Amino acid sequence: MIAAEVRTRSVKAGEHLQLLRSLASELERAMDAMSRNDLQEFEDSIASQQDLSEQLSRLADELSAASQPTYPLPSQSADSDLMHEIRTATGELQRLNFRYSILLEHSSRSVALMASLFTSFQGQLQEASGPGLKHQTWSCQM
């Protein structure tokens, strides 16, 4: 029974690692899509991120439950290399998440400004070279 529980925990830890890597890959994809202003791909990536996050949350709950086993498990209940890989993947994901949050913060601000400009300005987004005409565009932004 103990061996079975250890095996189950290792399998789940392996799944967890795979999901962490997939989520990291999705964050990269989302950032790339944002850079290219590829809205469709960005939205697709967010949908995948939501799905992966849900799977990870569910798996984390299951692993928490498995950490209080029926039988006392050996302290090293899962492969130490696997644990090391999970730790590395988590670190990488957190780093990407940090970068992603900064990018979102700046992009959100830009898009909010752009949105207010577009909704308040119904003309052509063209501006003449003369200082006078340039002035008009600036007042629209304000």
Partner 1 sequence: MGGLTTSLLTGMQALNATQAALAATSNNIANSNTAGYTREVAQMSEKQEQLIGGTVVGGGVSLNGIQSVRDELINLQIQQQASQRSEADTESSSLQPVQNFFSSTGNDIASTLSAFSSSLLQLSASPSNAAVQESVLTSGQNLAQSFNSTANGLTSAQTTADQQVTTTVAQINSLTQQIAQLNAQLSPSVMTQQNGGTIEDQRDQLVQQLSTLVGISVTQSSDGEVITTGNGTPLVMGGQSYNLQTTTGSDGLQHVLDSNGNDITSNIQGGQLGGTLQIRDHVIPGFLNSLNTLASQFATAFNSAQAAGYDSNGNAGQAFFTVPSGTTGAAAGISVAITSGSQIAVSSDGSAGSNGNVANLSNSLTNALPSGQSAANAYASLVYQVGNAASNASDKSTALSQSILQLTNQQNSVSGVNIDEETTNLIRFQTAYEAAARIISTIQALNTATINMVS
Give the nearest distance from C-beta 75 to partner 1 in angstroms.
11
Closer to partner 1 by CB, 3 or 67: give it.
67
Give the footprint of partner 1 on this chain (CB under 8 A): 13, 16, 20, 23, 30-32, 34-37, 39, 42-43, 46, 49-50, 53, 56-57, 60, 63-64, 67, 83, 86-87, 90, 93-95, 97-104, 106-108, 110-115, 117-119, 121-122, 125-135, 137-138, 141
Least Å distance, CB 11 to partner 1, is: 13
Cβ closest to partner 1, residue 70 vs residue 119: 119
Rg (CA), the chain: 24
Pairwise CA distance, residues 120 & 126, whole Å: 15
> Closest by alpha carbon to 13, among 97, 87, 96, 94?
87
Q: How far is the CB of 2 from partner 1 (least distance, A)?
A: 18
Alpha helices of the chain — where are they, by DSSP H?
2-35, 39-66, 80-120, 131-141
Measured from the CB atom, is 72 or 131 closer to partner 1? 131
How near is the Cβ of 108 to partner 1 at its closest, in Å? 5
Among 101, 94, 118, 128, smallest CA distance to 30 is for 101
C-alpha span between 18 and 89 (Å, rounded): 9
Closest CA to 27 of 79, 116, 94, 74: 94
Q: Smallest gap, in angstroms, from Cβ of residue 37 to partner 1?
A: 5
